[in-house]
Amino acid sequence: MLMELPAKISLETLTPEMVAKTIDHALLRPEMTIDEVIEGCRLCAKYQVASVCVKSCDVLIAAKQLQGTGVDVGTVIGFPHGNTSTKVKVFEALQAIDDGAVELDMVLNIAHLKSGLYNEVREEIQLIVDAAKARLPNCCIKVIFECSLLTDEEKVMACKLSEEAGADYVKTSTGFSTGGATIADLKLMRASTDPKKTRVKASGRIRTLDYLIECLQAGADRIGVSVTPAIIDDMRARKAALA
């Protein structure tokens, strides 16, 4: 679910419910136990975020926990380096959908992009998009760039290729590399895509309400975080203070 945000984004114009519906809550740490995943899903239902993003092995668990809550289940494809083969990524995407995922955050082939193999990069994204939407028409596909490893020219090209391939979102990073979401990258990604076709997701090292709002102001539509309670509770406290 995409929450419609006010034309002018600020603490004053946003509500806690609006902020919650911009959040994809990440449960992706490799050491995270099943009990922690279940507890994370319960937290997502409590705070009514847009979605939970879990490891592919946890999709079945998350789908069961979140059934009927209004919180979507997402997972990652080719995570975190993007260097598995296209056939494997397609299989992983379809298996995730069969397990209950409705949002897929796929890592593009970073090495192929940096090698100038643009047709291959576009084709891989399109194959995943086409296969996923054939299986589940409303499936949401986000393409992760890992911006900290790319030049600005490569980021612009990644935006172009993702949009041409039919992706729903372009996304800054996995959160597991050398950097996270920056305001400069978000502005560049927003300027390099058609807002009527492609949305922008900020992810990686977003830990405060203030920075989340900055990301929204820079053009992000979704925000990947793992500290949802701290952000939403802060929002509620500040709104109460303003009342």
How big is the chain by its Cα radius of gyration, in Å? 17
Tell which residue, 143, 127, 134, 71, has the closest CA to residue 101. 71
Q: If DSSP codes are grouped into helix, strand and coil, which group holds residue 30?
A: coil
- C-alpha 116/C-alpha 112 separation (Å) is 6
Catalytic: 171? yes
- C-alpha 73/C-alpha 54 separation (Å) is 8
Alpha helices by DSSP H, 73-204: 86-99, 110-114, 118-135, 152-164, 183-191
- C-alpha 75/C-alpha 135 separation (Å) is 16
The single-letter code of the amino acid at 181 is: A
For 238, how many CA atoms within 13 A lie in the half-sphere containing its CB?
17
Q: Which of 133, 187, 201, 239 is catalytic?
A: 201
Q: Which of 46, 64, 171, 197 is catalytic?
A: 171
Phi, psi of 73 (to 5 degrees): -105, 125
The catalytic site residues sit at: 171, 201
